[in-house]
Amino acid sequence: MRKKVSIVGAGNVGATAAHWIASKELADVVLIDIIEGVPQGKGLDLLEAMPIEKRDSHVIGTNDYADTANSDIVIITAGLPRKPGMSRDDLLATNYKIMSDVVGKVVANSPNCILIIVSNPLDAMAQAAYRQSKLPRERVIGMAGVLDSARFRTFIAEELKVSVENVTAFVLGGHGDTMVPLPRYSTVAGIPITELMSAERIEQLVQRTRDGGAEIVKYLKSGSAYYAPSAATVEMVEAILKDKKKILPCAVYLEGEYGISGYYVGVPCKLGSKGLEQIVEIKLTAEEDAALKKSAAAVKELCAVIGV
């Protein structure tokens, strides 16, 4: 029996994630949205692409949560997107209401699922989903670090004119202005980028990574990024469904790791069939540790506003 992934929110991120999952033949996909007709139309369109892609993934669109029953993974992208001039945090109150409603319906139909949260502000929404779902922390994971690391890798590869396949990068902390890219753990074919470019240039790339989402919002004017966010989400889905034990930076609920307790913060995680299987603790410099604690404090502030 094929695996089943449901995606809540049939907007650009959700629909594009459905596209990646179906085209990789990772699972059957259920695309659900409150708007009538949109998930059905996009689901059918995607299903009709499968003969061309030579994939037997089944895709449906629906407005009924009963169709999501017994999902292995549920991706939650639902919520308002950012508009120019908006921070991720501006979305807080509205998206919190949406998240609370969605999570209850999802868990009622798929009590054994793993939740991947994509809605912004990411860390606070993951925290809200964790509290609402009452699932163990291993099964509520936020997507942020994979995307932020991919942006950092893109900029490093462009700067050094090397294959993106040679570039690894690590970004920790919250998904926003306080994220913590780690240049000394970011490498090209195993060589730290600190040996390949100046500190000043690295700092410029780090800042561009922090501003990565805003840069795209500014261009699009009426929406936010969706190709890279959805691809990042699907990398997590694939690691879980294939039990790859892949180490990826994800937002997870910390219980003392990195000296942080009680909040979702981005750290290196091993993902496998059980969801979060291990948090990898790496040694941080005093400066990096301070930046991570500052990032956690920013998450704490948002969580306090919505009381989670």
Q: Which residue numbers are catalytic?
A: 175
Beta bridge partners of 191: 188
- Asked whether the beta carbons of 169 and 158 are under 8 A apart, the reply is no
Q: Running DSSP on this structure, what letter comes out for residue 273?
A: T
- The closest of 220, 213, 212 to 155, measured between CA atoms, is 212
Distance CA 19, CA 252 (A): 26
- Asked whether the beta carbons of 270 and 245 are under 8 A apart, the reply is yes
Beta bridge partners of 30: 6, 60
Instruction: Give Cβ neighbours of residue 142 (< 8 Å, ≥ 6 apart).
Output: 116, 117, 118, 122, 123, 125, 126, 175, 250, 251, 252, 264, 266
Residue whose tokens read 């994800």: 250
Q: Phi and psi for 207 in degrees, rounded to 5?
A: -65, -40
Q: Running DSSP on this structure, what letter comes out for residue 245?
A: -
SS3 content of the chain, % helix, strand, coil (to 5): 50, 20, 30
